[in-house]
Amino acid sequence: MAIQIGDTIPNFKAKDTHGNDFDSHQIIGKKPLVIYFYPKDNTPGCTAEACSFRDQYQDFQDLGAEVIGISSDSVASHQKFSKQYQLPFLLLSDADKTIRHLFGVPSSLFGLLPGRVTYVTDKKGVVTMIFDSVMGAKHIAKALEAVKKLQ
């Protein structure tokens, strides 16, 4: 079942951009989160989305929020992608799609592509916004607006 507004995000673990173990318990309860699921590293839409989050990252930081990107790409792919575009936030590798299924992220384009969904949580991990759109560039403004409402 898909996560809904008002739900607390489930605990999840993954390898991050640096190959380190990431556990959501390390961050939930400390700050608001913007967790965005995207289809694939180095594709035009996903690159534009990642670069837009990069360009506005300081705005999220100034509001006390952290941004985390998740796709099924490998840690090596994330490292290359992150380095090439100088991404200041973590990317998590969800190779077996466990986290995607845990959140209930739907597929898009008739099930051919992994979906693109952004979740914003308050610092307790309660979901305050869900934005599902294939238009990656629209996610950043929606997420920033939702984080500002938490202030």
Catalytic residues: 46
Q: In the structure, how many helices (H) and strands (E) does the chain have?
A: 4, 9
CA pseudo-torsion sign 135, 137, 138, 142 = positive
Q: Whose CA is closest to 41, among 93, 100, 104?
A: 93
- What phi, psi does 51 have (nearest 5°)? -70, -35
Handedness of CA 17, 49, 44, 110 (dihedral sign): positive
